[in-house]
Amino acid sequence: MFLFPLFALSCNNGALKPDVYSKESIDKKYPYWQVGIENFEVDSRLNKRTVITVEEKKYILVCMALMRLAVNTDEFAERVKASEGSLKSSVGDSYGGHTLQYGEQYNTQKLIDSVRSLKYNFIYRKMNVAVGTGTGEQGKSRYLRYGLQNENDIPTGKWIGLTTGNWGSLNDVLFGDYFTYKQSETYANVAGLMFHEHMHNIGFNHFGDYNVPAALQGVVTQILHEMLWKPIEGPALKNKYSKQLDELIAYYLTEYKHLLNEDTIFEPSAK
């Protein structure tokens, strides 16, 4: 079970070697998708007491590690390219004399590069959305602006919102087996949902006939299912990436430990 390492890391962050889990060393080893968390918040429009527990925050950080590892794999690039037929724009946009039209076929290599190059810390909010769904502030098309505009200046959505219910439990087994794979699937599904909402943050959407966020979510979720137990064929990706996942989880729990000091509590009566 992966439960013990998670709690061990959360209790002993001070004992970790700085050079092993520093941002600089991790960014060098996993250069793509340098995405983290700015803060955890509760939507002030809610009319009931709402809490984001420290355990829920840790769960999201584990899912952050999962997302990052998936996007850094060779399988991510290979499967995005294999999904080319479903990768057409559902938005129109323009910048610097260049345009993106509804129904336009995305260049898969440019799409991969524009997604992987993201460096941003997002706000995670509890909001009034259905369980199993999310929402994300819509940004401008990073795909269109990639290579044209300074990356730090591309308008990016600042937050994603998830259900007011419980976001997840560290009691769930991360690396599943025949009896526990449903628990590991939950990690993969939550991380995939988070990735979907981040696709909105960088300008992808799903209007009309085209749904790129869902297509890319499917790529990430399937990689994670295989990484946490369920191979389609051949050796499980778990055997290939388990050490890297351990390392990234340790990093995220260490890098963002300042967000893990206490629960985030919203009291509507205090508004």
CB 160 within 8 Å of CB 137: yes
- What pLDDT is stored for residue 235 in this prediction? 62
Question: What pLDDT, on a 0 to 100 scale, did the predictor assign at position 231?
Answer: 61
**Distance (Å, rounded) from C-alpha 107 to C-alpha 80?**
10
Of 7-21, 39-53, 87-101, 153-167, least confident by mean pLDDT is 7-21
Sequence ranges of the domains in the chain: 36-266
Question: pLDDT: is 16 or 134 the higher one?
Answer: 134
Model confidence at 1: pLDDT above 70 = no
pLDDT over threshold 50, residue 202: yes
**pLDDT band at residue 269, thresholds of 50, 70 and 90?**
confident
Confidence band for 178, pLDDT divided at 50, 70 and 90: confident
Residue 106 DSSP one-character state:
P
CA–CA distance, 253 with 208 (Å, rounded to integer):
39
* Distance from the Cα of residue 70 to its chain's centroid: 9
Whole-angstrom distance, CA of residue 252 vs CA of residue 38: 12
The residue length of the chain stands at 271
Query: For 48, which DSSP code?
Result: S
Task: Give pLDDT tens digits for 53-93.
Answer: 999 999 999 999 999 999 999 999 999 999 999 999 999 99
pLDDT tens per residue across span 244-257: 999 999 999 999 99
233, burial (CB in 10 Å: exposed 0-12, middle 13-18, buried 19+): exposed
Report residue 103: phi and psi, to 5°: 85, -5
Q: What is the pLDDT of residues 114-129, one digit of tens each?
A: 999 999 999 999 999 9
Is it the case that residue 46 has pLDDT exceeding 50?
A: yes
**Residue 9: predicted pLDDT:** 41
- The confidence score (pLDDT) of residue 35 equals 98
Percentage above 90 pLDDT, the chain: 83
**For position 11, what pLDDT does the model report?**
37
Alpha-carbon distance of 141 to 138, in angstroms, equals 9
